[in-house]
Amino acid sequence: MASTDPSPLPAAGSAAPPRVLTVAGSDSGGGAGIQADLKAMLALGVHGMSVITAVTAQNSLGVQGYWELPAEAVRAQFRSVVDDIGVQAVKTGMLASVELVETVSELLAGVRAPVVVDPVGVSKHGDALLAAEAVATVRERLLPVATLATPNLHEVAQLTGVVVEDEKDLPAAADAVLALGPRWALIKGGHLAGEAVDLLAGADGERHWYRAPRYDNRHTHGTGCTLASAIAAELAKGSAMPEAVGAAKEYVTGAIAAGFALGAGIGPVDHAWRIRG
């Protein structure tokens, strides 16, 4: 007869896991934003914490509306976490407005931990999540304090004017993003035809290519948030940037393959694919 003894509980007072802070918007549908960030962080063995910048009304069909939090509330959340608990990596997502981009940039300038900036401009459904007038502020204030920027091809064009049409254009896109100040740039080529190819470029000229099979699955909501959060988690655990990106890419590829339908539109990637598998 199989044993019915419960699994042993961890010892009281176990050491805390690495700590990662996400500064982003809330997704009421649970597929992207703060919710995706915290799920990815838990799946990868770190303690996730949050600074909520905006609340969205969002589901599988799109973003029906969003409401920014006051800069004072964002600043208070950040200081509350960083000054007491501390962080070993930070990830940013939806920042919405000029004022919030400026506020977060100022806060991040005083952080010694790695900062992963996902320069969110639009949602998976094409809904704007960053005011048009805030793009210049991201370019001039936020990217210079980033350890890594992770733009998709639309965001590359929005920030730099460089249009990527195929894989050979990725190095020029990386150079254009690096010129804005981050130490590393990860150009995500997921919207190109063929393999899912990304290019990681360092300010010192270092280059790393990452390739993964493309899965025929439309349920990919939260991919960008999840990748940036996974990289931040790996950095918090002590990985070097190329290894952190490689591990995060492998995790996200599995999450995309396991993405599932929710509602009538685009469902989320599955953050728990390793557990369910």
188 is annotated as an active-site residue: yes
Of these residues, 31, 147, 189, 225, which one is catalytic? 225
- Residue (of 143, 130, 152) closest to 223 by Cα position: 152
Nearest 5°: phi and psi at 198? Answer: -125, 150
Of these residues, 29, 188, 189, 267, which one is catalytic? 188
Paired sense of beta strands 19-27 and 196-202, if any: unpaired
Check if the beta carbon of residue 170 is closer than 8 Å to that of residue 199.
yes
222 is annotated as an active-site residue: yes
220 is annotated as an active-site residue: yes
The pair of three-digit structure tokens given for residue 234, joined into one six-digit string? 């790996």
223 is annotated as an active-site residue: yes
Of these residues, 223, 253, 259, 267, which one is catalytic? 223
Alpha-helical segments (H) within the chain: 33-43, 71-84, 98-108, 135-137, 153-160, 170-178, 223-236, 241-257, 273-276
Of these residues, 25, 30, 93, 224, which one is catalytic? 224
Of these residues, 22, 92, 137, 220, which one is catalytic? 220
Residues serving a catalytic function are: 188, 220, 222-225
